[in-house]
Structure 1
Amino acid sequence: MQERRFLSYHPSDRFSDHSLIFMEDKRIIAVLPAAVIEQEDKRILVSHPGASHGGLIVKSSLGTKKCLELVSALIEYCATAGFDYIRLKPVPKVYHKELSDQLDFALRFSGFRLEYTELATVLELKKGEGSFAKRVMSGTAFRNYQKALKSGLSVVEDADINDFWPILEHKLKLNHNAKPAHTLDEIRHLKTLYPDRIKLFAAYEGVTPVAGVLAFLLNDRVINCFYIAHHDGFQHKRPLNLIFGHMMEWGLKNGFSYLDFGISTEAKGSIVNTGLFHFKEGYGGHGLLRECYLYEINNRQ
Structure 2
Amino acid sequence: MFQITPYHSSEYEKWNAFVERSKNATFLFDRHYMDYHADRFQDASLMFYLEGRLVALLPAHKDGDTLCSHNGLTYGGLIMDEKATAERISVLFAEMNDYLRNQGFRTVFYKPVPWIYHQYAAEEDLYALYNVCKAQLVGRDVAAVACINHLLPWRNIRKQGAKKAIQHGCVIREGENYSDFWDILTENLQTKYGVSPVHTLDEIHLLHHLFPKQIRLFVAEINGRVMGGTVLYMTRNVVHVQYISASAEGKRLHVLDCLFDFLLENLPQECHYFDFGKSTATDSCLLNASLAYQKEGFGARSICYDTYQWNL
Report the TM-score, using the length of structure 2 for normalisation.
Answer: 0.87
Which position in structure 1 is the counterpart of 2:237? 221
In 1: Cα distance, 2:115 partner to 2:82 partner: 12
CA-CA distance at 1:268 after TM superposition: 4.7
Sort the Cα spacing of 1:269 and 1:118 in 2 relative to 1 into closer, same or farther, 3 A. farther
Which position in structure 2 is the counterpart of 1:116? 139
Describe the SS at the equivalent of 2:119.
coil
Which position in structure 1 is the counterpart of 2:20? none
In 2: Cα distance, 1:58 partner to 1:212 partner: 34
1:21 equivalent among 34, 47, 53: 47
Which position in structure 2 is the counterpart of 1:293? 308
Deviation by residue 1:211-270 (Cα, 9 ceiling, x = unmatched):
0111111x220111011100002322210001111111121x432111111111114544
1:32 equivalent among 58, 66, 69: 58
Describe the SS at the equivalent of 1:114.
strand
Describe the SS at the equivalent of 1:29.
strand
> Which structure 1 residue ranges, 4+ long, deviate > 3 Å from structure 2?
267-270
In 2: Cα distance, 1:114 partner to 1:16 partner: 24
Q: 1:231 is matched by which residue type in structure 2?
A: S
Describe how 1:1-301 pairs up with structure 2 within 5 A. 1-10=28-37, 12-38=38-64, 43-110=65-132, 111-126=134-149, 136-217=153-234, 219-251=235-267, 253-297=268-312
Q: 1:17 is matched by which residue type in structure 2?
A: D
Question: What's the Cα RMSD here?
Answer: 1.5
Sort the Cα spacing of 1:185 and 1:32 in 2 relative to 1 into closer, same or farther, 3 A. same
Q: 1:19 is matched by which residue type in structure 2?
A: S
CA-CA distance at 1:60 after TM superposition: 4.1
Describe the SS at the equivalent of 1:148.
helix
Q: 1:63 is matched by which residue type in structure 2?
A: T
In 2: Cα distance, 1:103 partner to 1:271 partner: 26
Q: 1:266 is matched by which residue type in structure 2?
A: A
Unaligned runs of 5+ in 2: 1-27
| Residues 117 and 269 in structure 1, CA contact (< 8 A), matched pair in contact too | no
In 1: Cα distance, 2:51 partner to 2:153 partner: 49
Unaligned runs of 5+ in 1: none
Describe the SS at the equivalent of 1:143.
helix
Query: Is 147-156 or 273-282 further displaced after alignment?
Result: 147-156
Describe the SS at the equivalent of 1:171.
helix
Report the TM-score, using the length of structure 1 for normalisation.
Answer: 0.90
CA-CA distance at 1:30 after TM superposition: 0.5
| Residues 189 and 195 in structure 2, CA contact (< 8 A), matched pair in contact too | yes
In 2: Cα distance, 1:231 partner to 1:240 partner: 10
Deviation by residue 1:92-142 (Cα, 9 ceiling, x = unmatched):
110011233222111110112211111111111017xxxx6xx53112111
